[in-house]
Amino acid sequence: MAGSGISSESGPGAFRDDENCHKQVSPIRGGGSRNTSPSGRVGSRNTSPSRQKVIKTKPRGLDEETVATFGKVVHPDVQMEDNIWAMLPEDLLNEILARVPPFMIFRLRSVCKRWNLILQDHSFLKFHSQVPSHGPCLLTFWKNSQTPQCSVFSLPLKTWYRIPFNFLPQWAFWLVGSSGGLVCFSGLDGLTFRTLVCNPLTQTWRTLPSMNYDQQRQLIVVVDRTDKSFKVIATSDIYGDRSLPTEVYDSKIDKWTVHQIMPAVNLCSSKMAYCDSRLYLETLSPLGLMMYRLDLGYWEHIPAKFPRSLLDGYLVAGTHKRLFLVGRIGLYSTLQSMRIWELDHAKIMWVEISRMPPKYFRALLRLSAERFECFGQDNLICFTSWNQGKGLLYDVDKKVWSWIAGCAVQSFNSQVCFYEPRFDASVH
C-alpha cells in the first residue's frame, strides 16, 4: 500500500520556528555575526551603500552567512514598483527561490497562489536540484502521547523548526535514518513489520512492500541522486538472529531482493555505517568489521582490530571513502576519554585522529555509565547524551568542537539523525 499527501497545515505555520526551543543558540564556530553598525569601522573611508564591501562565504555548510560593513548610515530602500516586479521572468524567479533556505519557502507560499503551488512546479524543482545544498540539519523525532513530534535544527541558520508529522501512519515509530532528503521509518502494523520512506518537506510518503522474511530487521536507507532512486538494506534480525538473508529494496523496481546470508559472527553493535557503496558493522568474533558490498551483493570480513580498552564504539561514515570509529576508552571513570579513529584501508588498522577535550567530555557524560548516541554526515560527527539532554558537534575537517543549544534531545526517547532538506527528493 502506498500513500502520499500534502499536510493541511500548508500555510506559514506549518513549518515554523520551534516555540519550545531557544532561537538564540550558541554559535557553531567563532565568527559569523553580522556587523552593520557604522561605528564598527572607525577611521575607515566612507563609501556609498552601493560600494559596500560584501564578503560571501560558501553557500554550503556552517558558514552560510553574508557579512556586510558600511561606512555610513544606509538610507531606507526605495519603494518597489509592483507592476515592474510582477513581470519578473519565470525562470529568473525560480532561480531566485531555489536559493532561498527550504524552511523559508513555506512562509513565502502565503504570498500568492502562484507561489503556493511552487513545490509542484517542475521548473522550480529543476533549479532547486542544481543549487548547492542548504547544509546539514539535525532531525529529532519522538512521540508524545502517541502523537509524532519532529523538530529540525538548521546548522547554517542556527534555528530550530517544528515540522508537523501527523501525515505518517501510527505504526511508524522507529527512525531508521536519512539520506539525500528522504527519511526512513519502520514499525509494527499489528504483527507485520513495515517500512516507509518520506520527504518531511513535501509531506509525501511511500509504504514499502513487505520483505520476503517478515521480521524486525536492522535497516539503513541510501539515496542515489543521480538516477533519483533509493535503496533500503535489511541485514540481520533486530534481536540478533543472523540466519536471515540480507534483503535490498530498490525503488526503481519497487521490490525486495534476497541476497547472501551474513556469515556467522558475533556482532558487538547493531549500529551500521554506509560508506562508498559498502555497509560496515562491528564484530567481536571474529574481531573486526563485516563489510557488505552493495554492488556485488556479498559479505566480507575485515580484520581491523579495535583499540585497546574500547568501551563502546560507533561507526560513522565520512566523505571520500572515510570511515570513522568513535568511542569511549579507559577502564576507570576518572581516566575515560572520547576518541575518534579513522580506518586506514591499506594497512587495515584504526588510526587515532582526535580526542574530545576533557571539559566537553565531563559536560556530556557526567557518569561513566551514561548512555550516548553518535552519528555523522559529511565529516560532521554529532554526540547526544540521553541524561544530559545535550548535543555536541565535531567538525573533522576544521577540528572544531561546539555545543548545539536548544532542544538537541527533546526527551529521553528522542531519536536523532542528520538530515538534508530537499524538495526534489522523491519517494516515487
Question: pLDDT tens digits for 230-277?
Answer: 999 998 765 655 578 899 999 999 999 998 888 877 777 667 899 988
Is the pLDDT confidence value at 289 over 50? Answer: yes
| More confident call, 219 vs 145 | 219
Q: What percent of the chain is modeled with pLDDT above 70? A: 73
Higher pLDDT, 117 or 280: 280
Spans of all domains in the chain: 90-130, 137-419
Q: How confident is the model at residue 78 (pLDDT cuts 50, 70, 90)?
A: low
pLDDT value at residue 254: 96
If you average pLDDT over every residue of the chain, what do you get?
77
For CA atoms 330, 331, 336, 339, give the dihedral sign.
positive
Task: Supply the pLDDT for residue 352.
Answer: 96
Angle at 63 between CA 58 and CA 68, to 5 degrees: 85
What pLDDT, on a 0 to 100 scale, did the predictor assign at position 369?
A: 63
Question: With 80 as the cut, is the pLDDT of residue 178 above it?
Answer: yes
Give CA separation, 305 vs 100, 285, 331, 361, in Å.
Answer: 46, 11, 18, 25
pLDDT digits (tens, 9 = 90+) for 86-108: 777 878 888 888 888 888 876 67
User: For 374-386, how does the pLDDT look when each residue is reduced to its tens digit (9 = 90+)?
Assistant: 899 889 999 988 6
Q: What are the grid coordinates assigned to 398, written together?
A: 576544521
| Residue 272 β-bridge partners | 281
Number of other CB atoms surrounding residue 248 within 10 Å: 17
The phi and psi torsions of 393 (rounded to 5 degrees) equal -115, 140
Does 61 have pLDDT greater than 80? Answer: no
CATH top class, domain 137-419: mainly beta
pLDDT at 175: 94
pLDDT digits (tens, 9 = 90+) for 326-349: 998 887 666 789 999 999 999 999
Percent share of the chain, pLDDT over 90: 32
1-37 per-position pLDDT tens digit: 444 443 333 333 445 555 444 433 333 333 333 333 3
287 has a pLDDT exceeding 70: yes
So what's the pLDDT on residue 117?
77
Give the pLDDT score at 382. Answer: 93
Regarding predicted confidence, which is higher, 114 or 292? 292
Q: How many angstroms from the chain centroid is the CA of residue 136?
A: 6
If pLDDT is split at 50, 70 and 90, which confidence band does 359 have?
very high
> What's the whole-number mean pLDDT along residues 354-366?
89
